Structure 1
Amino acid sequence: MPTIGVKRDLLFKLLGKTYTDEEFQKLCFEFGLELDEVTTEKQMITKEQGEDSQLTSGASEEIIYRIDIPANRYDLLCLEGLVLGLLVFQKKLPFPLFSAVKPSEGDLQKLIIKPDTAKIRPFAVAAILRNIQFDADRYNSFIDLQDKLHQNICRKRTLVAIGTHDFDTIKGPFFYDAKSPKEIKFKPLNQDKEYTGEELMELYSTHAQLKHYLHIIKDSPVYPVITDSNGVVVSLPPIINGDHTKIKLTTKNVFIECTATDLTKAKIVLDTLVCMFSQHCSNKHTVEYCEVINPNGTSVLYPGLRYRTEVVSAKKINKKNRY
């Protein structure tokens, strides 16, 4: 069962009510969650790393709620989804209708999948969030949700890898291909020089987080890579994005791509991301389609954002709840 940490005061502000710890614990229980721990950033670091003045010197004393989330509720793995779920549950907010639209100006952005991707990671989906407004808390939540999804439904990036990019720094159409590691050369996120695919394996072999994902592609004769129409490397999934497309607080338009070995999981991940963060767009709960063109020439618009209606009798449900 995954656990998320949210700032208590920010959570209460968004919920429009201040709770005692006991009151919020009760609300969580009624909703099907569990308030696991009331702590601070400093206490969490101390617990994980031990007493170290260098590690804790900049840590906040702000109260953090650590909340256990059911394994199948990917929409609750961030502050945005948690607040939405609780407000709808309390009937303080109607459930929003999410929609995908074509661009008001210009053509659909395209992601073209090349045949060689079948050798390593055959599927990809994509979408664009337009006119989004980030602040520090929203940005951190956006990054944290990707990490939570990677660790859960994405099975540590083996099934799905997420790439998010400043759309205004690149130009479509985009190409998803698989190339020899020696052919791939770019400046990875937060680095100051270019590396080949081979050199990246060495660079990140001791990296605290990224070293755990290298095995997914390291021994393959080809590595997956996404480029824009100018040849700019957008990402080397499932390892690292390019520094060129790094998202900042000033980013207004976000290009999201998910590469995968499981297309169904990729669709769920993309839908989750765009639904949670489209509420920060100027046109709330709306996301822009991308057209994904498969190697066989067929094309699909993503995200799906499909709704369905289920009719189930209370008698049948009650039978399911008997132990």
Structure 2
Amino acid sequence: MPTITVEKERFFKDLGKTFRDEKEFDGILFDYGLELDEDTQLTTPEEKPYKLKIEVPANRYDLLCHQGLVLALRTYMGTSPAPNYSLSIPPPEHQWKAYVRKETSQIRPFFASAILRGIHFDEQRYKDFIDLQDKLHGNLCRKRTLVAIGTHDLSTLDHSNKIISYEARPPQDIKFIPLNKQSEYDATQLMTLYESIRRTNDFHLINWTCTRINSNKTKITLDTKDVFIDVTATDQTKLGIVINIIITMFSQYCSKPFTVEPVDIIYEHDVGSSYRSPNIEPLIFATRQSYINSVTGLSLTREATMALLGKMGHQASKGASANKPAINASTSVVLQNAPHDDLLNVAVPPTRPDILHECDLVEDVAISYGFNNLKKTFPSTNTVAKPYPINKLSDLVRKECAFAGWLEVLPLTLCSHDENFRFLGKEDDGREAVILSNPATIEFQVVRTSLLPGLLKTIRENRKQPLPMKVFEVSDVVKKDSSLERKARNTRRLGAVFVGKKSAGFEVVHGLLDRILAMLDIHWIGLTSDPSSRKSFRGQYQIEESNHPTFFPGRSARILFQPSVLIKKEGQEEGWTEIGRLGIVHPDVLQHFALDFPCSALEIDLLPFL
């Protein structure tokens, strides 16, 4: 979870409450769902000012700064009511407009903006303002790949027509003095200058006509009185969340607290499409008192529930809203048919984008009431869990391999493209492996389609261990499958590799195969020649010589399986099915994996045995 650092003295002062001891304060944080990670007064008393490090939930973006924590806890403790946010709409001649040009639709199509008028910064508030943007960029904005925030001193902009233009331009046409720099750069030079933002591939294409993103000209200082905020995004939902969090946290310092001046956004590529930004109207959710009581085990009245929701920043009223219907009512038959005297209408503030469903309101009621105060009861029904058949089969195979003296290993699921194909003597036809679009390293390029690369790498990293070495793995491989919605399928396999000093040990892996299949009641074809006897077995198997580039020529075989009537699936064709291969590993493969001793390997699918 994210950790927020606040100055202890300032934090307690803004909370407006004196705590008897640290335990009382820690208890309030815990009840609210937060955790005091560190108090530097106790851990490093020589360092001042003292600071508190508080862990907050990952989906509570309103708690990522000092201001958000104070507002939330003051409301929760009843020190002050939840603020009401409003728009301060200027006369038409003073209304700022932003035009979104059509070329931006290919890069960051969504744009939002707002103005904080008469804001008063001091050193701490200014630091919090910058810090909140950094935390949002690193968290919700995914290092600016989804959303990017820009803040500017409004007084530095051209006020003649009060128009902002959001454009995309070629890199060579973008020239300005970056923030805290003295020289002018173009976009190409900026990409070299700011190595830390290379993740944002389209950064160098975005620019303003009347001002510059992150330019020194529009730099915000402690003397700034009017702040212009712009947010660009590839995700419209996250766009709204980000701009609402910023303005709700710092509009309290405006000349009119908790008021924001909107900006009219006009889309050039969608004629007639425009809206007023930001949208800070509360979202209306409907919930049922009976549902809240059934989930929490309480017997609350609607009045009591309204008070509890108020402690969490919501405004609740009885019945359904006639002016503004709940956003979740139209899709819920249960809410539509609920009695009027059971309904609650809850106005969720713009600071709480984590509220997505009726159950989220129930969670807030439970937090406000106190989880420790809920009655502890056993559920009225018991459910007994059982493993999926494939997992149960996998555990049985693991045990048998271990009983046979083999050691289980757990290599990584991702591997390099060469390890999955070239090192095994195979070619990539583009129809088998799932390839990562943004691998972190060369070691994690594809999802493995075979267990052998991981087993051979494990042996390579343990070359100093005494021989012989017998290792196995029971895990999934992934292959493309266009017939499925996810376009890929998992297959459970058993893989095993034997490495010896003098012998490749083909008979050892062959023996493991015989042992595993015998324990699964799959018999060698020579033992099931009598057709009448096959009905008592789960199936029969045989091996057939077959060359494969991973194995030494003439020293490999494919494993064929024929199910009996006991496990034969409806519609399954008669005959033999290839379920895997075994053989002596090719010397070229051993060389690719830096192995000096001969090896034998086995790999089979387990799904046909279900």
Normalised by the length of structure 1, the TM-score is 0.85
Match of 2:305 in 1: none
Q: Does 1:275 align with 2:248?
A: yes
1:255 to 215, 218, 228: 228
State whether residues 40 and 47 of structure 2, in contact with CA within 8 Å, keep that contact through their aligned partners in structure 1.
Answer: no
Match of 2:169 in 1: 179
Match of 2:8 in 1: 8
Match of 1:216 in 2: 200
Greater Rg by CA: 2
SS state at 1:95 partner = coil
Q: Quick one: distance in 2 between partners of 1:22 and 1:12?
A: 14
Q: Does 1:226 align with 2:208?
A: yes
Q: Quick one: distance in 2 between partners of 1:104 and 1:61?
A: 48
Deviations 1:25-77 (A, max 9, x none): 1110111111111127x96xxxxxxxxxxxxxxx9621111111111111111
Q: Deviation at 1:148? A: 1.0
Q: Quick one: distance in 2 between partners of 1:75 and 1:226?
A: 29
In structure 1, runs of 5+ residues without a counterpart are 44-58, 206-210, 236-240
User: Structure 1: which 4+ aligned runs deviate by more than 3 Å?
Assistant: 320-323
SS state at 1:268 partner = helix
2:146 to 159, 164, 167: 159
In structure 2, runs of 5+ residues without a counterpart are 296-358, 364-377, 380-610
SS state at 1:28 partner = helix
State whether residues 4 and 65 of structure 2, in contact with CA within 8 Å, keep that contact through their aligned partners in structure 1.
Answer: yes
Match of 2:99 in 1: 112
SS state at 1:309 partner = strand
Bigger relative contact order (CA 8 A; separation at least 6): 1
SS state at 2:28 partner = helix
SS state at 1:102 partner = coil
Deviations 1:112-159 (A, max 9, x none): 111111121111100000000000011011111111111111111111
Identical residues among aligned pairs (%): 43
Q: Quick one: distance in 1 between partners of 2:118 and 2:58?
A: 31
Deviations 1:62-110 (A, max 9, x none): 1111111111111111111111111110111111110112125832111
Q: Quick one: distance in 2 between partners of 1:21 and 1:175?
A: 52
Give the counterpart letter for 1:274 in structure 2. I
SS state at 2:231 partner = strand
Match of 1:51 in 2: none
Q: Deviation at 1:216? A: 1.9
Give the counterpart letter for 1:279 in structure 2. Q
Match of 1:146 in 2: 133
Q: Quick one: distance in 2 between partners of 1:282 and 1:115?
A: 36
Q: Quick one: distance in 1 between partners of 2:106 and 2:22?
A: 52
Match of 2:178 in 1: 188
Q: How many residues align?
A: 290
Cα RMSD for the two superposed structures: 2.1
SS state at 1:89 partner = helix
